[in-house]
Amino acid sequence: MNAKPDFLRQRKVAVLGGASGIGRAVAHLAAEQGAEVFVLGRSEAEAGPWRYLPADITDAESLKRAFEAIGHIDHLVVTAGARVGSPKLDELSLAALSQTFEVKLFGSLIAAQQALPYLAADGSITFTSGLLSRKYGPGGLLKSTVNAALEAAAKNLAKELAPRRVNVVSPGVVDTELWGEADAAGRLAAMARIGAGLPVGRVGRPDELAEAYLFAMGNGYLTGAVLDVDGGGLL
Ligand SMILES: NC(=O)c1ccc[n+]([C@@H]2O[C@H](COP(=O)([O-])OP(=O)(O)OC[C@H]3O[C@@H](n4cnc5c(N)ncnc54)[C@H](OP(=O)(O)O)[C@@H]3O)[C@@H](O)[C@H]2O)c1
């Protein structure tokens, strides 16, 4: 992990999408490392070592209010993402396309734009894509296109917003609420089946992903990078 323990002490970290899953694990780990953490989202699923601020990633005004309330941001992490199906071309609707891109691509960019006036010059933004950005197959259209576009946008912003650093974490399959309720039979079965097909023999845990976000925040030489944390799923 990070070579400098407590590197987040007295730093402000905003996690948009931090109410559950990977974002919540980032919020916990950043708080453990001494950061003042702000969890932004449409709802506060549970209390934690952070301050919750309501924000919808599709609503620029709500983002502006939340970032204004924080006042100064050292690191912005965006993990918000809608639950997206896997329609093939003949099943694809404009509504599904719009919702997917509105949240993950347009939302991430509007969030970065609204945070920018408050973002420290030595700060960072870390977005979240997903392994299908570079892995292709029937039913992957929505996820591949939106995640590939987000990775391209982040690389562009790494140059445009320099010296601020901009990176992406690309998760493989991670056992989170995205897959359903914690002990739902469908989620357990999917995790076991998918995990068995991965080189590491299991799916990922949110805390394993959180370490990648903290690495992206803490490593001053890392920008324009996509960190694949996927148990070998891209291979
Ligand atoms: N878990 C995986 O296997 C996996 C694999 C590849 C990529 N990813 C990506 O990783 C990211 C995090 O996923 P996760 O597994 O942690 O899923 P998750 O637990 O469902 O977290 C997604 C978060 O996004 C929030 N969100 C959704 N729409 C929002 C909106 N309009 N405004 C603000 N917040 C919104 C959700 O909260 P509310 O709905 O309560 O607002 C939720 O807290 C997503 O971008 C996902 O696509 C995950």
Give the position, in ligand 1's atom list, of the atom nearest the Cα of 203.
3
Would you state the pLDDT for residue 4? 67
For 76-85, what is each residue's pLDDT tens digit?
A: 999 999 999 9
Number of domains composing the chain: 1
- Ligand 1 pocket, mutate which of 24, 38, 79, 99 (most atoms under 8 A from CB): 79
Question: Residue 10: left (phi > 0), alpha (psi -120 to 50), or beta?
Answer: left
Distance 33 CA to ligand 1 centre (A): 23
Mean pLDDT of 193-221: 98
Domain assignment present for 139: yes
CATH code at position 119: 3.40.50.720
Give the position, in ligand 1's atom list, of the atom nearest the Cα of 176.
15
For 11-34, what is each residue's pLDDT tens digit?
A: 999 999 999 999 999 999 999 999
Domain assignment present for 224: no
Distance 80 CA to ligand 1 centre (A): 4
Would you state the pLDDT for residue 60? 98
Query: Nearest residue CA, atom 7 of ligand 1?
Result: 130
Domain assignment present for 7: no
Question: For residue 27, what are the domain limits?
Answer: 12-219
